[in-house]
Amino acid sequence: MPPLGKRCGAEFLGTAWLTFGGCGSAVLAAAFPGVGIGLLGVSLAFGLTVLTMAYTIGRISGCHLNPAVSLGLMAGGRFPAKELLPYWVAQVLGAIAGAGILFVIASGKPGFSTVGGFASNGFGEHSPGGYSMIAALVAEVVLTAFFLMVIMGSTHKSAPASLAPVAIGLCLTLIHLISIPVTNTSVNPARSTGPALFVGGWALEQLWLFWVAPLIGGVLGAIIFNAIDYDEEAERPRSRSANAA
């Protein structure tokens, strides 16, 4: 296993890429006149950031890129508790760096302002579809829980390892297709923190939900997956020599 410093460095870069790529697609390309990529394009962009980073740094850090994923994997027995805080720090700093790069680029256009949200997450009047705090909370908990189940299932020792990044990336794409209208989609406290720091005001005031809900969802997803998981190898009949012993 690589040293913790290398793994945290990979998490920093991966989370920066996720935040810059995903939020960048929303800020720079979603509504570009004539060729805007819209909700579908933004959803796909977030999925592609995870997919590409999973193949790039998965062997180094596991490619969590998300405090809720790290916490969920810890709750599910896949990640050591002593490394949770360093991963969280690396992920949050990476998200801030990614949002910072995006801010520098986006502010190069005359008339740019963060008033439009800068891809921040919100509820109530700051929800793209005007959804309530309860709706946002439920959506973020449920979607993060399913995200963890997909992650744990696709990275299980019995699953084809080469396809795990595809399943995880497509799952994140689906999550965004469902919940961009509700919260602008978080399921990732680090991703939410980066843009919120540049918007300030309401984005920081509502940031608590996009930490609490994904963290709860991550733990629930891990618990549920472990409850339904089935170890085929443990259930196979032992060989004659083993039985004789």
- Output the CA angle 50-125-204, nearest 5 degrees: 60
Angle of CA points 162, 166, 167, to nearest 5°: 105
Q: What is the mean pLDDT of residues 24-45?
A: 94
> What is the distance between the alpha carbons of residues 190 and 206, in angstroms, rounded to a whole number?
14
Residue 116 has pLDDT above 70, yes or no: yes
DSSP labels, 159-215 = S-GGGHHHHHHHHHHHHHHHHHHHHS--S-HHHHHHHHHHH-THHHHTTTHHHHHHH
Task: Give the confidence band of 85 by pLDDT, cuts at 50, 70, 90.
Answer: very high
Q: Which residues contact 182 (CB under 8 A, 6 or more apart)?
A: 123, 127, 128, 129, 131, 135, 136, 139
Give the residue-averaged pLDDT of 10-26. Answer: 98
Could you tell me the pLDDT band of residue 234, with boundaries at 50, 70 and 90?
low
75-98 burial code (b ≥16 CB/10 A, e <16): bbebbeeeeeeebbebbbbbbbbb
State the pTM of this model.
0.93
Which ranges constitute the DSSP H helices of 25-83?
38-61, 67-75
% the chain with pLDDT above 90? 87
Q: What's the pLDDT score for residue 35?
A: 86
Overall average pLDDT of the 143-168 stretch: 95
Give per-residue burial for 11-32: e unless 16+ CB within 10 Å, then b: bbbbbbbbbbbbbbbbbeebee
> pLDDT tens digit string along 188-213?
999 999 999 999 999 999 999 999 99
Nearest residue to 155 (alpha-carbon basis) of 218, 88, 81, 64: 64
User: How far apart, in whole angstroms, are the C-alpha atoms of residue 115 and residue 117?
Assistant: 5
Rounded distance between C-alpha atoms, residue 65 and residue 206, angstroms: 21
Is residue 150 scored above 60 in pLDDT?
yes
Q: Which domains does the chain have, with CATH numbers?
A: 4-109+116-229 (1.20.1080.10)
pLDDT of 231 > 80? The answer is: no
Length of the chain: 245
- In order of 19, 45, 150, 194, the CA distances from 93 in angstroms are 11, 21, 26, 8
What dihedral angle (degrees, nearest 10) is formed by the CA atoms of 196, 204, 123, 49? 20
